[in-house]
Every structure is written in structure tokens, then in C-alpha cells.
């Protein structure tokens, strides 16, 4: 029995400190994040979670609207083990970008785009973000 538990113990010890859940992304490169997912910016210990879609008022495909509309997402941001900060980012209105501890986090796009024929399941939303160093 000791022989079979030793490899499992070693595997567990090797996995401590690793984050198998969060996807790693690169600073300065656009990346996609699904609703409910978390990413870590490689080498920066910056974590971003796409918490929810707060507002979806973009004009659906197939409809004539007075204005294009706006969608708003909530993200949680933290660096190292500090307290998470909640922020909202918008597709059309401000703010489209936030500053956090020397970084800028910008919403580039939110997919899928609404359609009058197909309602969007909240889990299907995917945001395109970019993180850069604040200069």
C-alpha cells in the first residue's frame, strides 16, 4: 500500500502552487475569456475573472434601432493575494477600460452579438480583453 500512495503524494506535492483552473494569458495580447472563467497574466500574478454580463442592450441583428446599444460586463481583478476589485466594462459607453495597480484592462469585444431569433445563454458569452502596462 505504501508503494501506491507514495506516487499520489508526490503528484499532490508537485501540484501545490500551480493553478490548473485559470488560463494563462500574455501581457499586451488580446485574449478571450468565457463568462465565469478566470485568467492569470503570465509573469504578473494578475488575475481577472469574467463575473457576469450586467447589461445587454445592444441592438439585435435584424432590428432597426435608433442607436447601437451597449453591453456591460462585470470583472473581478486582483494581484497576488490582495482583495479582489469589482469593475464594469462596456462595449460602447464608458468605461471601456480600467486602470488597476499599474495595468490597463480593456474590453475589446463581447460575443455573441444579440439576435432577435436566438436568445443568448449567459454561459455562452465570451469577452475579448487586452491587458497592458499603464504608462
Model confidence over 36-82: pLDDT tens digits?
999 999 999 999 999 999 999 999 988 888 988 999 999 999 998 78
Higher-scoring residue by pLDDT: 51, 2 = 51
**Binning pLDDT at 50, 70 and 90, where does residue 15 land?**
very low
- Neighbour-count burial of 27, counting CB atoms closer than 10 A to its CB (0-12 exposed, 13-18 middle, 19+ buried): middle
Asked if residue 96 is part of any domain, the answer here is yes
Asked if residue 1 is part of any domain, the answer here is no
pLDDT at 82: 82
Asked if residue 57 is part of any domain, the answer here is yes
- Looking at the 3D structure of the chain, how many domains does it have? 1
* Residue 75 belongs to domain spanning: 20-133
pLDDT at 127: 98
Asked if residue 5 is part of any domain, the answer here is no
**Binning pLDDT at 50, 70 and 90, where does residue 7 land?**
low
Asked if residue 4 is part of any domain, the answer here is no
Asked if residue 62 is part of any domain, the answer here is yes
The residue length of the chain stands at 135
Q: 91 CB contacts (<8 Å, ≥6 apart)? A: 58, 70, 71, 72, 107, 109, 110
Report the percent of the chain where pLDDT is more than 90: 69
pLDDT at 62: 84
Query: Which CATH number covers residue 24?
Result: 2.60.98
- Do residues 114 and 120 make contact, with C-beta atoms less than 8 angstroms apart? yes
Asked if residue 65 is part of any domain, the answer here is yes
Asked if residue 72 is part of any domain, the answer here is yes
This prediction's pTM: 0.81
- Do residues 60 and 115 make contact, with C-beta atoms less than 8 angstroms apart? yes
Amino acid at each position: 500500500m505504501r508503494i501506491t500512495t507514495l506516487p499520489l503524494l508526490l503528484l499532490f506535492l508537485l501540484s501545490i502552487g500551480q493553478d490548473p483552473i485559470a488560463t494563462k494569458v500574455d501581457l499586451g495580447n488580446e485574449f478571450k475569456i468565457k463568462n465565469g472563467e478566470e485568467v492569470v497574466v503570465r509573469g504578473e500574478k494578475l488575475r481577472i475573472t469574467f463575473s457576469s454580463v450586467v447589461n445587454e442592450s445592444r441592438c439585435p441583428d435584424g432590428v432597426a434601432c435608433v442607436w447601437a446599444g451597449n453591453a456591460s460586463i462585470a470583472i473581478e481583478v486582483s494581484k497576488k493575494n490582495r482583495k479582489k476589485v469589482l469593475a464594469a466594462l462596456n462595449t460602447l459607453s464608458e468605461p471601456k477600460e480600467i486602470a488597476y495597480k499599474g495595468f490597463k484592462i480593456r474590453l475589446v469585444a463581447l460575443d455573441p452579438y444579440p439576435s432577435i431569433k436566438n436568445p443568448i445563454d449567459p454561459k455562452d458569452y465570451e469577452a475579448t480583453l487586452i491587458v497592458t502596462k499603464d504608462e
